[in-house]
Every structure is written in structure tokens, then in C-alpha cells.
Amino acid sequence: MIRIVDTTEARSILASRLGSQDAAEQAVRPIIQSVRAERDAALLRYARELDGLGGAPLRVPQEELEQAESSLSPEIRKAALIAVANIRQYAEAQLPRESFSEFAPGRKLGWIVRPLAAVGCYVPSGRYPLPSTLLMTAVLAQTAGVKRICVTSPRPSAEILGCAHLLGIDEIYRVGGAQAIAALAFGTETIQCVDRIVGPGNAYVAAAKKLLATEVGIDFLAGPTEILILAQDGDARWIAADMLAQAEHDATASAVLLTTSRSLAKAVAAEIEKQIQTLPTADTARRSLQESSFIAVLPTMHDAVALANSFAPEHLSLHDPSLLPQIQNAGAVFLGPMSAESAGDYAAGPSHVLPTGGAARLRGGLSTADFVKIISVQQLSSSALQELAPTITTLARAEGLEAHARAVEVRSVV
């Protein structure tokens, strides 16, 4: 069922994963233009046509949120609270700290940290409503000190609504897709605009974020989800389970194993076939495994690491911790065989909102730093300014900016 390939074919398959969004961009342009021009009228029209809003209010009423929280089972409430505590603990450790100190006599430099005023959290709720994504975005924003957090989700489940109320978030809208992204970017009569939009979505959500990235802050563009596992040896049951956990997301999800052991490759392939027989999401997982996933047998682990760095996967499962210093590109690393990727999806602490499609070459996953501004601060004494004056005036005049030079020289006149 799942292919076992060599190095050349593995490189070719991974390169083909970095595709174009042209079709999705063409589809969402009219939606974005309509929301910009018509505001609520277009937003409601698309919410009814595409999101199944029907006659329900666009903004979820407070009493519905209260009811959703009260209906959470004790097990889900406990799990959510544990996850929130772990996410918040990690987010607090990630939060940039302010600094202001003397770098040289009379030259004090530093930075202040200020939260964004408003963020929009996009929470998918299609085939699989994801309350975990609400936690993995909103808790970071809260930790950073963001005052206004609004959530858009096309068909929010009771768990999504209950978890939002548990966090004290009451601005939730039943809208998704490009129309939600456009509303958050431009603002409408019902939804005020935000400073940044975060959270994963389908190809149309990603295309809308890309087209609007010059008008509103975004986290990154999220495409089909990915896991790449590097293992010379290991328990075939565990590796197969991790691959199936990724494959069940969507037919376009990618689950890849790179190994130097052909016997491990065959054992994992057989274990996948065994485990999928009892998997409720087998239809989706099987398509992912057949169309977007593979196992590659490579000559050395050095080759495997090089290929992993080239692909820059969203999730990198590294069974041998000693290889970590060689890793340059990954959205998140799961170190050692016991670090199941599912733990990161729900409760370990780091956010599961991660770059895909090679974007991990540029950045890691969502963090509290995405919800703050780091503003530089400079304070110079008279003597410190005079010490820098020759450097400043020389460079200013080299650029033809005479007033810049004079702004320093005038301060030397008593």
C-alpha cells in the first residue's frame, strides 16, 4: 500500500510537494473583493452559502458559550485544563523579555515588549473540528497580553465553544474560509479588523492569507500537513502509528519515513497495513498513504538528514537524539522514540501551529513572539553623541542627507 523508494525517487517526491496555490488564489480573489466592498452583506452571504450559517447569528451569543462550557464532559474539561496549563507554561518561557542597559559610557540601548492590540484566531471545524487549535493560538495571545482575541470558525463544535468560554474568550464568529480572513483583515460592521491572523486552514484560507499579507499580519501559510521520521531502527508499531496519525488528517497529508534499514522499512509497511484495518479514518489515511506518503531506504543517516533539511518538514520525528545538532530546518522536532507527534498536537506545551510546504526554512512554529512587538529604545548622553558624531555625519553626507548630519552637529553648539 505505501511505497518503498530509493534516494532519487524520494527527492523527486518531496520536491513535488512544494506546489503552487494559483488555483486557490483565483478562487478567493472575488470573495476578498466582495467583503472589502460590501462588508457584512458579503460576509453573511458567503457564510450562508459556504459555511452553512443558515439563520444562526454570525456572532455566537454569550448564553450559547456558557451552555457549551457547562456541557463539557469532566474528561474533556480536565484534558483542556491540563493542556492549557502546559501551553501557557511554555508560552511564558518563550515570551521575549525587555532589556535596557549601557553598552558604552553614555550609550544606553535596549528594547521594550508590547502586545498586539487585537488578533484573530482561525479554528478549523470542517471534517475534524479542532478545539486544540483554539488552545494552541489563543493561550499564546493571552500570555503575550493581547487584549482583544476574536475567533472565527465556520461550524464551531460545542467543544470549541466550551473551550473558548473556559479561556474567557467571548468574541467568536461562525464564519470560515477566505471570507473570514477578509473580514478580519478589513473589518466589517460586525467584525472589527485585527492586527494579525493566526491559525491553520485549507488551501483557500492559506491563499486568502497570502493575498492579504500586505494589509494584515499573518503567521505563515499552512498547506497540507507533514511528518518526516528519521529512524535507523526502532519499533515498527510506533513508527506506523505516527505515520497513520498524520495520514488520517487529509488525503493530501504526507507521512514519510527515512531509514537506512530495508528490514525496518518492510516491517513498518506491514504494520501500517495491519493497523489501518481497524482505523475509523482508514479511507482518508489510505488515500494519504497511497498518494502523498512513502518510505525511503537511504545509504546513510547523513543522506537522510540532508534530505530532511532540504524538505524542511512541519513535524520532524528524530529517533536518534544525537542527530539534533545537524538539523537546520523543521517546524518542530520530536526527539527520541517516545516523543509521539500526537503529544505535540495536544498537550506537551509548544503550539501545534507550524509552517508547512518548506516554510520551516524561514521560521519555526507559532510562539508568543508572534503576538508582541519588540521596540528598540536608545538613549545617548551628550558625550556619547559627540563620540559617534564623526561616524554619523560622514555616513549621512555620503548618502547626500545633509540635514541628518546637521541634526547631530547642532547639538554640539552650546
User: Looking at residue 65, which CATH number applies to its domain?
Assistant: 3.40.50.1980
Do 279 and 158 share a structural domain?
no
Do 135 and 215 share a structural domain?
yes
Range of the domain at 160: 22-96+116-221
Domain-embedded: residue 169: yes
Contact 314, 21 (CB under 8 A): no
Contact 238, 275 (CB under 8 A): no
> Which among 367, 385, 352 has a CA at the least distance from the CA of 113?
367
Residues with a known catalytic role: 314-315
Give Dmax over CA atoms of the chain in angstroms.
86
Do 200 and 316 share a structural domain?
no
End-of-domain residue from the set 349, 374, 393: 349
| Total domains present in the chain | 3
pLDDT value of position 229: 98
Do 27 and 166 share a structural domain?
yes
Domain-embedded: residue 213: yes
End-of-domain residue from the set 195, 221, 247: 221
Scan for cell 485544563, then name that residue: 81
pLDDT value of position 174: 96
- Distance (Å, whole) CA 11 – CA 257: 13
- Provide the residue count of the chain: 414
End-of-domain residue from the set 194, 221, 248: 221
Amino acid sitting at position 169: I
Residue 380 is classified by DSSP as: E
pLDDT value of position 269: 97
Distances (CA, A) of 144 to 45, 77, 363, 377: 35, 24, 19, 20
Angular region, 358: left φ>0, alpha ψ -120 to 50, beta rest = left
E strand or H helix at 273, and its extent? helix 262-276
Residue 319 is classified by DSSP as: S
Do 27 and 47 share a structural domain?
yes
Domain-embedded: residue 189: yes
Domain-embedded: residue 103: no
Do 26 and 12 share a structural domain?
no
Domain-embedded: residue 360: no
Domain-embedded: residue 331: yes
Do 234 and 85 share a structural domain?
no
Do 330 and 317 share a structural domain?
yes
Do 298 and 325 share a structural domain?
yes
- Residues 6 or more apart from 254 whose CB is under 8 A from it? 17, 224, 225, 226, 227, 246, 288, 292, 293
pLDDT value of position 51: 92
Domain-embedded: residue 261: yes
Do 243 and 177 share a structural domain?
no
Do 169 and 71 share a structural domain?
yes
> Which among 255, 226, 257, 244 has a CA at the least distance from the CA of 285?
244
pLDDT value of position 20: 59
Residue pLDDT tens, the chain, 414 long: 899 988 888 888 877 776 556 888 999 999 999 999 999 999 999 999 999 999 999 999 999 999 999 999 999 999 999 999 999 999 999 999 999 999 999 999 999 999 999 999 999 987 778 899 999 999 999 999 999 999 999 999 999 999 999 999 999 999 999 999 999 999 999 999 999 999 998 889 999 999 999 999 999 888 889 999 999 999 999 999 999 999 999 888 999 999 999 999 999 999 999 999 999 999 999 999 999 999 999 999 999 999 999 999 999 999 999 999 999 999 999 999 999 999 999 999 999 999 998 899 999 999 999 999 999 999 999 999 999 999 999 999 999 999 999 999 999 865
pLDDT value of position 129: 83
- Three-state SS string over 142-210 comes to HHHCCCEEEEECCCCCHHHHHHHHHCCCCEEECCCHHHHHHHHHHCCCCCCCCCEEECCCCHHHHHHHH
Domain-embedded: residue 141: yes
Do 335 and 387 share a structural domain?
no
pLDDT value of position 187: 97
